[in-house]
Amino acid sequence: MGTLSFLDTEFTSLVTPELLSLGLVTLDGCEHYVELDLSTEVGQARKRASSDFVRYDGVLDLWGLVPGAPCDYPEMGRRTAEWLLGLAAQSGTPVQVAFDYWADFELMERAIHDLSLGLWERVRAVVTPVDVGALTGSPEGEIAAEECFHELRRLGLARHHALADANALRAAYIAVKAVAVQMAHATHSDIFRQLAQHALQLGLDEAWLQRWLRAPAFELGGRLPKDMLEEPGGLEALKDLLGRIAHGVYS
């Protein structure tokens, strides 16, 4: 497995996307961010081509928050290529670029390829795209992303800033992986087997049970049921709750 880095971009519109900004953050927190200098000819043209959401709903309002980030379009591609190549050289391993929307990777690729300096061929040799959207879109991933946005607001960053969104994707991935390890341990425990057997008797299969354990439960005040597995009395409380769900007391 190579070095993992998380990618997000902001772009002009969903219909005709053109790159406006790009953020990358590694699993251990190293960051790269560039944004298009809107005073350039290309910047002015892309601003005019941007959707109302981008122009008026908080995307372009977040420009200028990272010192040294504004640059022209070719420089965006060059800086990004050199950062990725440097990351691969430093780690001695390929770089896995994780994203939750394919257009992000395609826009990064285009920015580097448009330089016509042969940089994309070098980058492509050490970079692998990884779509983590299905993984990070889980309840625990969404919770972790929201917590990350809350912390980033203290630094002046917010949702729809590419570096903030890349950090939120990283936080979601870390949370989901942690839960996966926890669930792997839990599903091999005697307590889980007892709960799974009880659920089966109620007509609830194990796949449903595992999803339920990982999602905030209204009946538990928003707690995750899995967090009760090892608590004193937790197994009986969860059995009782499953019985209520199976009999329609809770939906």
Per-residue pLDDT of the chain (251 residues), as tens digits, is: 569 999 999 999 999 999 999 999 999 999 999 999 999 999 999 999 999 999 998 899 999 999 999 999 999 999 999 999 999 999 999 999 999 999 999 999 999 999 888 899 999 999 999 999 877 777 778 888 999 999 999 888 999 999 999 999 999 999 888 766 556 666 667 888 888 888 888 888 888 888 888 778 888 888 888 888 778 888 888 888 888 888 776 54
Q: What's the Cα-to-Cα distance from 65 to each of 48, 58, 70, 103, 122, rounded to whole Å?
A: 21, 13, 10, 24, 31
What does the alpha-carbon distance between residue 104 and residue 7 come to, in Å, rounded to a whole number?
7
Tokens 């690729």 map to which residue?
109
Q: What's the pTM?
A: 0.75
What does the alpha-carbon distance between residue 5 and residue 72 come to, in Å, rounded to a whole number?
23
SS3 43: helix
Tokens 């590694």 map to which residue?
26
Report residue 144 as tokens. Answer: 């972790």
Instruction: Give backbone dihedrals phi and psi of 165, rounded to 5 degrees, phi first.
Output: -65, -35
What does the alpha-carbon distance between residue 153 and residue 138 come to, in Å, rounded to a whole number?
23
**pLDDT for res 25:** 97
Domains of the chain: 3-180 (3.30.420.10), 190-246 (no CATH)
What does the alpha-carbon distance between residue 117 and residue 188 come to, in Å, rounded to a whole number?
53
Exposed, middle or buried by CB within 10 Å (0-12, 13-18, 19+), for 52? exposed
**pLDDT for res 180:** 62
